[in-house]
Amino acid sequence: MGESIDHERLQMLRFNAYAADTVRELERPLLDDGVPLMRMAAAAAAHEAKRMLGAQGVALEDANVVVLAGAGDNGGDGLFAAAQLAGEDARVTVVAVGRGLHDAGFAAFAHSGGRVLVLDPEAEIPGCVTGFSAGEAGERLRVAVDLVNQADLVMDAMTGIGVSGALHGIAATLTSALLDSWGIDGRAGSETIQDHPGERPLVLAVDTPSGIGVDDGTLPGPYLTADRTVMFGALKPCAMLPPAAYACGKVTLVDFGFDIDEAEPASEMMDADLASSAILVPSVHDMKYTRGVVGLVTGSTRYPGAAVLGTNAAARSGIGMVRYLGPQRAQDLVLQALPEAVIGKGHVNAWVVGSGVPASTDTADGDDIQRETITRLLAHYALVDESGTNDDGGDAAAQGTHPDAMPPIVVDAGALDLLPARVPGNVVITPHAGELAGLLTRLDTINGPVTADQVMSAPVRYAQLAHEDTGATVVLKGAISVIAGTDPYDNDRTRILLCGRAPAWLGTAGAGDVLAGMIGALLSQSDVSGSPDDAPAVADTVAAAVYLHGLSAAIASHATQCGWRAPEIYGAGERNTGYVAGEPIIASDVIRAIPQAIAKLIG
């Protein structure tokens, strides 16, 4: 019993993230009870610093450590950690980037005999020289950069959850100067320092890397990518939202014992437990029609391979039957690769449309028939406005079945530009960043064009916008994929699920076609096509398919690398296993590994 409660809490801590305001509410009762959270945080930070130094073979008494300390409590954590490391004979310098330092933290550090370098001439820090000239301020900045570059480890305690916007002032200047000295453009996460330990000091971020968007996962200005982040109390969204999650490095989470049971997570990461609950294991009473039938309108004369990949992926995902509609060439290839496929119309439990179908700007002879079929099908999903006409000018009554009651449909690739303006949540769109930018531009969602770079710099924001504007459940694909759908507990709220299970080897042609087939398969299995009340479950099923896709790629490539790694829990005695790069794969390899991945999940 106790063990299962622990497991449940551990799962909640590792796979849920809470907004900064929620974390402050969770801290409050403990602070009121006098629990020394800052001391606990600092002890954990010092411990992680020692561990990182140890892993590089640097003894503490030989270690050079620089702590970049801001004026708030994040700086306080850094100062207490600095005091502890100095007390254990490391050479520690604190670089004060703000106008002050946390009083008690500073006192503890001063007591340990460590050095402080003040950068702001207007700082007021007892016992430290301030009021120096602009020239001297510049010289101090250069000294700070040199100190960091000579250090074995730099602890980033400039800002934590109290940050607002991009770093400004001296914190920004110092961060930019460090990035310059490392030859890194720190703005867009275009490069990371994670892959180069030894060439630059190790970076340990305290609570969060300074300057990243704690709640929205954006990178609004300069920041130092951390090798490791020691995070306190609960994961903040930046630990799982791209692109900020990539700046956190490996995360160690310090469990303060927050009462998280009633707290609302801001985002959730898919894990094996959640994914396995979406997979149906057949019973003796099942037969092919009760195990899910998927219909695919995919592939084209020009791109028939997408039809082969999607149908095979769906067929391997544990369903009863695959139906295929498409041009003769694609039909022939589908049947050759999958004799089990049934060609032509018939009852289905879910549709997959668009993979390998050229977009409107790209149509070739013979492909128009696919687009016409998809257009007719999608018209059944168009929601009506109050006048009774649907948004595309059609007569809703003439469409027959209500859009909510239609089988779920996955709209991929070339069909995205055929998506009606307003659809229910049983319509799932699966764009990558460029496709989402195109869709949002066509719908004029933000009253102007949207670029792929904009989407990649704030994927959660744009996935959420697309969900809220169209009503569709959105899968924005990437190393960490973002799923935005209706919250099952509050239909007015968007639920954000994330999945980072796949190795980067999955970024290969046709992987998206495979995913579309798998999502269709899991949707066909689930009982989600009937009533509007069930619509929210779509997001969970879709996220489970994304997880299964990533796991299949991991199995196929033998890689342990993945887009997102769960945090270690401080003191739990676990350690992340080593990094195995694995081997390259093609999309067909992913399909072959699906049954094994399913067995792993349900086993």
Ligand X SMILES: NC(=O)C1=CN([C@@H]2O[C@H](COP(=O)(O)OP(=O)(O)OC[C@H]3O[C@@H](n4cnc5c(N)ncnc54)[C@H](OP(=O)(O)O)[C@@H]3O)[C@@H](O)[C@H]2O)[C@@H](O)CC1
Residue ranges that bind ligand ADP, judged by CB under 6 A: 432, 477-479, 481, 502, 504, 506-507, 509-513, 515, 563
Radius of gyration of the chain measured on its C-alpha atoms:
27
CB closer to ligand X, 15 vs 232? 232
CA 591 vs CA 314, 316, 516: distances in Å: 9, 7, 12
Cα 244 to Cα 310: distance, rounded to the nearest angstrom: 32
| Residue 199: burial class (beta carbons within 10 Å; 0-12, 13-18, 19+) | exposed
**Partner in contact with 598, chosen from ligand X, ligand ADP, none, beta carbon below 5 to 8 Å by kind:** none
Q: Shortest Cβ contact with ligand ADP: which residue?
A: 512
CB closer to ligand X, 164 vs 387? 164
Q: What angle (nearest 5°) sits at the alpha carbon of residue 287, between those of residues 286 and 289? A: 115
Least distance in angstroms from the C-beta of 506 to ligand ADP: 4
**Partner in contact with 188, chosen from ligand ADP, ligand X, none, beta carbon below 5 to 8 Å by kind:** none
The token pair that represents 20 in the structure block: 């900064």
Least distance in angstroms from the C-beta of 215 to ligand ADP: 24
Least distance in angstroms from the C-beta of 542 to ligand X: 33
Of the candidates 303, 350, 260, the one whose C-alpha atom is nearest the C-alpha of residue 13 is 260
Least distance in angstroms from the C-beta of 219 to ligand ADP: 17
**Partner in contact with 510, chosen from ligand X, ligand ADP, none, beta carbon below 5 to 8 Å by kind:** ligand ADP
The token pair that represents 565 in the structure block: 């790694």
CB closer to ligand X, 171 vs 184? 171
Least distance in angstroms from the C-beta of 185 to ligand ADP: 19
Least distance in angstroms from the C-beta of 552 to ligand ADP: 11
**Partner in contact with 511, chosen from ligand ADP, ligand X, none, beta carbon below 5 to 8 Å by kind:** ligand ADP
Asked if omega into 36 is within 30° of 0 (cis), the reply is no
**Partner in contact with 478, chosen from ligand X, ligand ADP, none, beta carbon below 5 to 8 Å by kind:** ligand ADP
Least distance in angstroms from the C-beta of 253 to ligand ADP: 23
Beta strand extents in 462-551 (DSSP E only): 473-476, 481-487, 490-499
User: What's the number of CA atoms in the CB half-sphere (13 Å) around residue 603?
Assistant: 6
What are residue 230's DSSP bridge partners?
206, 252
**Partner in contact with 397, chosen from ligand X, ligand ADP, none, beta carbon below 5 to 8 Å by kind:** none
Q: How many CB atoms lie within 10 A of CB 132?
A: 16
According to DSSP, residue 292 is labeled -
**Partner in contact with 168, chosen from ligand ADP, ligand X, none, beta carbon below 5 to 8 Å by kind:** ligand X
Of the candidates 423, 436, 509, 418, the one whose C-alpha atom is nearest the C-alpha of residue 476 is 436
Least distance in angstroms from the C-beta of 511 to ligand ADP: 4
Burial letters 15-47, b for 16+ CB under 10 A, else e = bbbbbbebbeebbeebeeeeeebbbbbbbbbbb
Cα 94 to Cα 112: distance, rounded to the nearest angstrom: 12
CB closer to ligand ADP, 243 vs 510? 510
CB closer to ligand X, 144 vs 163? 163
Least distance in angstroms from the C-beta of 418 to ligand X: 43
**Partner in contact with 27, chosen from ligand ADP, ligand X, none, beta carbon below 5 to 8 Å by kind:** ligand X
**Partner in contact with 37, chosen from ligand ADP, ligand X, none, beta carbon below 5 to 8 Å by kind:** ligand X
Of the candidates 222, 231, 273, 272, the one whose C-alpha atom is nearest the C-alpha of residue 250 is 231
CB closer to ligand X, 105 vs 408? 105
Coil, strand or helix at 156:
strand
Which residues of the chain form contacts with ligand X (CB under 6 A)?
A: 27, 31, 37-38, 41, 70-75, 77, 98, 159-169, 171, 206-207, 232
Least distance in angstroms from the C-beta of 513 to ligand ADP: 5
- The residue written with tokens 């000018």 in the block is 393
Least distance in angstroms from the C-beta of 420 to ligand ADP: 22
CB closer to ligand ADP, 378 vs 499? 499
CB closer to ligand X, 167 vs 413? 167
CB closer to ligand X, 92 vs 161? 161
Least distance in angstroms from the C-beta of 39 to ligand X: 8
**Partner in contact with 509, chosen from ligand X, ligand ADP, none, beta carbon below 5 to 8 Å by kind:** ligand ADP
> Does residue 486 contact residue 255 with C-beta atoms inside 8 Å?
no
**Partner in contact with 502, chosen from ligand X, ligand ADP, none, beta carbon below 5 to 8 Å by kind:** ligand ADP
CB closer to ligand X, 174 vs 542? 174
**Partner in contact with 432, chosen from ligand ADP, ligand X, none, beta carbon below 5 to 8 Å by kind:** ligand ADP
> Does residue 268 contact residue 482 with C-beta atoms inside 8 Å?
no
| Residue 203: burial class (beta carbons within 10 Å; 0-12, 13-18, 19+) | buried
> Does residue 230 contact residue 48 with C-beta atoms inside 8 Å?
yes
**Partner in contact with 507, chosen from ligand ADP, ligand X, none, beta carbon below 5 to 8 Å by kind:** ligand ADP
Least distance in angstroms from the C-beta of 205 to ligand X: 10
Q: How many CB atoms lie within 10 A of CB 361?
A: 8
According to DSSP, residue 534 is labeled G
CA 91 vs CA 60, 109, 147, 351, 515: distances in Å: 8, 12, 11, 63, 52
Residues 6 or more apart from 569 whose CB is under 8 A from it?
10, 13, 14, 252, 253, 255
CB closer to ligand X, 169 vs 571? 169
**Partner in contact with 167, chosen from ligand ADP, ligand X, none, beta carbon below 5 to 8 Å by kind:** ligand X
CB closer to ligand X, 174 vs 309? 174
CB closer to ligand X, 40 vs 193? 40
Least distance in angstroms from the C-beta of 587 to ligand ADP: 7
Residues 6 or more apart from 499 whose CB is under 8 A from it?
269, 270, 480, 481, 483, 543, 546, 547, 550, 563, 564
Coil, strand or helix at 150:
helix
CB closer to ligand X, 207 vs 367? 207
